[in-house]
Structure 1
Amino acid sequence: MAHIPDGLLSLPVLIGGGALAAVGVAAGLRTMDDRAIPRVAILSAAFFVASLVSVPVGPSSVHVLLSTLMALMLGPGIFPAVLVALILQSVMFGFGGLTTLGVNALNIALPGYIMALMIGGLVRSAQSPVRAGVVGGIGAAFAVFGTGGMVALALWLSSSAYVPAAKIVLITYLPLALGEALICGMVLAFLARTAPEALRPRVAAEEVSA
């Protein structure tokens, strides 16, 4: 799963992941204004609740990430949204670890943000809600594989002894990618039909202030 606990990662991986996560969080906070805070809080809470539900897959377990959906609606705001949820999960339920917060936040948020940059225009300009959902679902699946790859990479860079575990992690992310694609695709199709402005966070903010 994406919550790497304390004691597994090497110091260079922890520092590097933490530094990159800090850059993402800073970018998210810089683009966030008072009007965006409720949306960030709601999606952070949705991620917090959804990722508490873990489904056993072989020797590991998986949970939905919602990273592409969050990034489409929040832009860089996905980084602070994910970080806050991970902090609360670690403190309240012991999910993941405190020393690995930066790496875990980066592994979850960055693939979703990258996919949102790649497919955002296609989703927002889709001729039908169904097409928006299909494109978004495909992007969500790729983001899941991105997270799995980053988790495996963090383990591999920390110790070669984790290579077998890293391979298992990648395999367990296959059913998660299918489920994530279905869930995010359905939500995006619904939003594209009922509230397309939700997929344009900056435009929505400008319309509110106008």
Structure 2
Amino acid sequence: MHLVDGLVPVPVVVGCSAVAVAGVALGLRRLTPDRLPQAAMVSSVFFVASLIHVPLGPSSVHLILGGLAGMVLGTAAFPALLVALLLQAVFFGFGGLTVLGVNAVILALPAVLVGEVARRWVSRSPLAVGALAGGLTVMLSALVCAAILALSGEGLATMAQALVLAHLPVAVIEALVTAAVAVFLTRVRPDVMAVAHG
């Protein structure tokens, strides 16, 4: 779901960049020094998972793990995912530097929104909440990306629809992976997803 430089009109880039700056600022305020290792781990896992692409028609899909990032980090998922997106743009050319804010909004905003809600309920039913958070985050990211593509020109509307459909199987896989990790973490390290972390 990385959009590339030059695809998105300037007003959309500016608007998304403003949202990304606000999200990163809020995330950094809540990212305490003792949580830096968690943020680094989530950023690394996101970075690696996003590098494994599965071809699907004219495009490809990959795991995002946004639901997991949101549940573990809360609002701190914004700066963590932004760092991973920046490294992907610089080292591998995924996305681009001018659309860094756009890609951050596509991936981090749904992760933070879903994660903040899921963290409040995950201890009661880690399997169900983890699955819902994983799948819902993927579909919300796909919808945000589709909306941005639709705003970018009529020629991209068909691509936007195909993007949402292509991510349905990804949502199922993400739901399973996030549910498994949520169950594991609530048993082994319940403090990792504690709401008190902010």
Is the TM value for this pair above 0.5? yes
Matched, 1:9 2:8: yes
Which residue does 1:175 correspond to in 2? 169
Instruction: Give 1:201 deviation, angstroms.
Output: 6.2
Q: How many residues align?
A: 198
Which residue does 2:140 correspond to in 1? 146
Matched, 1:78 2:73: no
Unaligned runs of at least 5 residues, structure 2: none
Alignment of 1:81-120 (within 5 A): 81-120=80-119
Which residue does 2:188 correspond to in 1? 194
For residues 34-82 of structure 1, give each alpha carbon's deviation from its aligned partner in whole angstroms, at most 9, with x where no partner exists: 1111111111111111111111122221111111111111111100000
- TM, length-normalised to structure 1: 0.91
Which residue does 1:136 correspond to in 2? 130
Greater Rg by CA = 1
The one-letter code matched in structure 2 to 1:47 is: F
Asked if the contact 2:120–2:195 (Cα under 8 Å) also holds between the matched residues in 1, the reply is no
Instruction: Give 1:195 deviation, angstroms.
Output: 1.1
Query: RMSD of aligned C-alpha atoms?
Result: 1.3
For 2:185 and 2:150, how far apart are their aligned partners in 1?
39
What is the DSSP-based 3-state SS (H/G/I as helix, E as strand, rest coil) of the residue aligned with 2:51? coil
Asked if the contact 2:133–2:178 (Cα under 8 Å) also holds between the matched residues in 1, the reply is no
Which residue does 2:18 correspond to in 1? 19
The one-letter code matched in structure 2 to 1:194 is: V
Percentage identity across aligned positions?
41
For 2:142 and 2:119, how far apart are their aligned partners in 1?
22
For 2:154 and 2:72, how far apart are their aligned partners in 1?
38
Runs of 4+ in 1 over 3 A off after TM superposition: none
Instruction: Give 1:134 deviation, angstroms.
Output: 2.0
For 2:165 and 2:59, how far apart are their aligned partners in 1?
10
For 1:158 and 1:4, how far apart are their aligned partners in 2?
11
For 1:81 and 1:201, how far apart are their aligned partners in 2?
18
Which residue does 2:153 correspond to in 1? 159
What is the DSSP-based 3-state SS (H/G/I as helix, E as strand, rest coil) of the residue aligned with 2:33? coil
